[in-house]
Amino acid sequence: MLQAENLSKFYQMGDNEVRALDGASFTINEGEMVAIMGPSGSGKSTLMSIIGCLDAPTGGKYLLDGVAVENLDESQLAEVRGRKIGFVFQQFNLLARTSALENVMLPLTYAGFAGKEREDRAFKALERVGLGGRTHHAPNELSGGQQQRVAIARALVNEPAILLADEPTGALDSKTGVEIMELFQSLHRENGQTVILVTHDAHVARHTNRIIKLSDGKIVSDEVNANPIKAGAPRVEE
């Protein structure tokens, strides 16, 4: 469970104080699928960095499974990130000239796996995202949607409880974006993973069960989406 109380992140830029995040409070329970929306500059990535323990807030409190993240040292933070959290980014962030399998094996290497077990686990994760037949392809031999699937397999491979994705469909065409959202939905449904994703696309957000909207670093709405879009549904424009 994630609990944020009055989180803020201020940057001093010369005489100006930039309030990237300005007093955000919310609770996200295990197994929720949540979209964070808002215009460019509203604090979405800042919030994701704090949720993912990549960055510390300037003020407020953040509890991850009851543990106050501010009390953890660098090595404890790295351990929490490696064990509990999987990250997916807009630009995939895969290693070039490196096979899909090796990209997915990387977090396993950090976690201390080697040999056949490491390879088997990476292969299973690639199979899970529909890429069992592409394990030896490098990123430049894969489509954008396939590269994002490799990135999702890499995020999944250590079986984290929480998947965080910052604009995961932002670099994809809308049809491929929907396919990626359907993949997140099935991971959420079948593995019970908590999925938190950032998007500025309302259609993408409607695949989730809850939509939190940010504006100028503040939460301006936090609503249940009772009827998430199901797999295969046609796209309806705003």
Ligand X SMILES: Nc1ncnc2c1ncn2[C@@H]1O[C@H](COP(=O)(O)OP(=O)(O)O)[C@@H](O)[C@H]1O
Interacting residues with ligand X (CB under 6 A):
11, 13, 18, 20, 38, 40-46
Q: Which is nearer to ligand X, 9 or 121 (CB)?
A: 9
CB of 216 to ligand X, least distance (A): 9
Q: Which is nearer to ligand X, 10 or 203 (CB)?
A: 10
| Tokens describing residue 59 | 């003020």
Find, among 41, 92, 34, 90, the residue nearest to 223 by Cα: 34
DSSP string, 174-219: HHHHHHHHHHHHHHHHHH--EEEEE-S-HHHHTTSSEEEEEETTEE
- Contact between 235 and 206 (Cβ < 8 Å): no
96's contact among Mg ion, ligand X, none, with CB below 5 to 8 A by partner kind, is none
Q: Which is nearer to Mg ion, 40 or 75 (CB)?
A: 40
Distance CA(129)–CA(154), nearest Å, equals: 10
Q: Which is nearer to ligand X, 11 or 110 (CB)?
A: 11
CB of 158 to ligand X, least distance (A): 25
Exactly one of 45, 103, 158, 208 binds Mg ion (CB under 5 A); that residue is: 45
Buried b (16+ CB within 10 A) or exposed e, 215-235: eebbbeebeebeebbeeeeee
**Taking contact as CB under 5 A, which single stretch among the options 39-47, 114-122, 124-132, 156-164 is the one that binds Mg ion?**
39-47
18's contact among ligand X, Mg ion, none, with CB below 5 to 8 A by partner kind, is ligand X
| Tokens describing residue 221 | 């709405």
Q: Which is nearer to ligand X, 18 or 54 (CB)?
A: 18
Beta-strand pair 59-64/2-13 = antiparallel
Size of the site for Mg ion (CB under 5 A): 2
Positions touching Mg ion (CB under 5 A) are: 44-45
